Chains A and B, each alone.
Chain A
Amino acid sequence: MGSAIPSLIGVIIATFLLSRALPGDPAVYFAGPAANAESVQQVRESLGLDKSVPEQFALYVWDLAHGSLGTSLTTGQPVADDLLQRLPASMELTFAALIVAIVVAVPLGVFAAVRPSSFVDHFCRGTVTVAAAFPTFFVALLLVYVFYYLLGWAPQPLGRIDEIYYVAPDTVTGFYLIDTLLAGDSESFRGALAQLVLPTISLALFALAPIARMTRASMLTALGSDFVRTARANGLSGATVLFTYGFRNALLSITNIMGMIFSFLLGSNVLIEQVFGWPGIGAYAVSAVIASDYAAVQGFILMMAVIYVLLNLVVDLLAGLIDPRVRFEG
């Protein structure tokens, strides 16, 4: 909790400074390539660029506090609306990848630690080293080539659901998997799931390596610790030693790298959305960058940073649940 507030303040200051770091006249930049003198002047006034820097900052914070991130040049909509509308798509993909990565990597790491130097251990370490070298966007393309073009198992990599065959569900949570289930439409659920599989795997693969590596290392440390020896000396069964004593302690180190994992996932998300025509905020931001739609880019960065800070906060809270020492310090 203690680090979330300063982080947010830092993020707000940094995004403000970034927007003022624009070479040349920020007003021209924010107004976009197609602007005329009049619209530039309009932008200058609305951003308060004719005022002093502290005043500009106050204005910026004021707008943020009112949920205003400016207006997108490309869509003509308020940036906040654009982002919120696309956010569920990105989050569904990110969380799906996170879950897949954890579900695969943690058991792998545990197994490798329980049987060090076994075939599984070597295999796991080998795969993890190789997987870490593959750029996410390249993996994504390879998967599309193999599973869509060659094998025809995967649907065309264009968006979250194939609207020709399926109906997109009514928005409740914005997560298609959940919304289709809520609507009781198992057809569309399968359609949405099929679209989600490849992007999820591509994204998860990159997060897999560090999680598996960390799980293995921290399990080895935990299993070699004094308290595990005590537990064994008291006859505790293998499962209790492994999970209650070993794994719970290892979880602490695993939560420690979750920040880095989220950083990976949120960043790579942008690339994956690009490959799969995924209508999320990453794809939105890329087109905004290319179109020099600066308000949209700035809103995107700010939103990503806030999500990242919040995710880290959740991890901190989880760590506190696991580790009494963290709880008592805080």
Chain B
Amino acid sequence: MTLATFAKDTRHAFAENPLTLVAVVIFTLLLLCAILGPSLVPYDPLMTDSNARMVPPSWQHWFGTDHLGRDIFSRVVVAARLDLGMAVTAVAASFVIGTSLGAIAGYRGGFVDQLIGRVFDTIMAFPLFVLAMGIVAALGNSVVNIIIATAIINLPFYGRYARAEVNVRRDAAYVEAARMGGNGSVRILARHIVPNILPPMMVQASLNMGWAILNAAGLSFIGLGVRPPEAEWGIMVSEGASYIFSGEWWTFVFPGMALVLAVFCFNLLGDGLRDMIDPRRRT
């Protein structure tokens, strides 16, 4: 794929699916919140105010305040860093490790292949969220362990794909040529095989992001990982949930919507990216 055709496909993908453009805008917004969040927001996200508890949305507090009088808008914006950070780190880790393991398995074959395959199969033998709970429970209740758990349950998606693709390409002519040229296995994998399978893997990663966000937020919703008073969407929804019976909807709706927006954005980006990379698979 040349750069020119990629540019053409990109334009095409935007024209065909304007939602991708929407996704890019949301993505930029989220990124802005994640990077500059603390300096953008009107209030300190951790600052309590006993005079302004449970204030409904208003000009002072766009998203209202919570039971401690903290400004929910500020908390939602600042939380982007932690939520996206957890998801990005987890997906990046499983991308790198999964792809490497899969590539080794596919290239080597034999016992190594079987062993790595078994590990992936075993991960997939669990309902994934349940496994993530178990991993956090075993490793300890912390943000780092949430990331590790999310990374582990995502491993097979990259690993299996990379394995299959590498296995097919292992004996391709250009790989054979590189081998003749005296390149070692690692070099062949890194320089000649893996770059060829990266574009579809990127699509997978983007589609995975939404899921990783849901997963991490789900874990903190049930009280794992992130501890109060830290601002994080899942835990904010969970804290707000207690006030549902007194009708203080803003406490959980805004952080929830932030989650929806982020997941929606990554799902659309993934779809758009897939269209750009592989125009044939457009549905």
Contacts and interface: CB of A to CB of B under 8 A. Distances in A.
Contacts of A168: none
A268 B124 CA distance: 16
Given A11-B125, A149-B244, A289-B136, A135 B260 contact: yes
Interface in B217-233: 217-218, 221-224
B52 interface: no
A133 B237 contact: no
A135 B125 contact: no
A318 B218 CA distance: 32
Nearest to B246: A149
Contact of B256 (A141, A290, A305, A308): A141
Interface stretch (A42-50, A183-191, A293-301): A293-301
A35 interface: no
Nearest to A301: B134
B258 to A, nearest CB: 10
A7 B133 CA distance: 19
B122 A7 contact: yes
B253 interface: yes
Interface in A262-292: 262-268, 270-271, 274-275, 285-286, 289-290, 292
Interface string A129-160: 11011111110011011000110000000000
Given A149-B244, A271-B222, A301 B131 contact: yes
Contacts of A129: 264, 267-268
Contact of A11 (B122, B135, B249): B122
B126 interface: yes
B122 A10 contact: yes
Contact of A217 (B118, B241, B263, B283): B283
Contacts of B244: 141, 144-145, 149
B59 interface: no
Contacts of A21: 138-139
A252 to B, nearest CB: 19
B214 interface: yes
A39 interface: no
A297 B252 contact: no
A308 B133 CA distance: 16
Nearest to A267: B129
Contacts of A292: 137
B130 interface: yes
Contact of A18 (B121, B135, B267): B135
B97 interface: no
A271 B218 contact: yes
B245 interface: yes
A28 interface: no
A266 B260 contact: no
B265 to A, nearest CB: 8
B130 A266 contact: yes
Contacts of A10: 118, 121-122, 125
Contacts of A290: 223
Interface in A94-143: 129-130, 132-138, 141-142
Given A137-B237, A266-B127, A271-B218, 8 more contacts: A132-B210, A135-B217, A135-B218, A138-B260, A141-B241, A263-B128, A289-B136, A305-B131
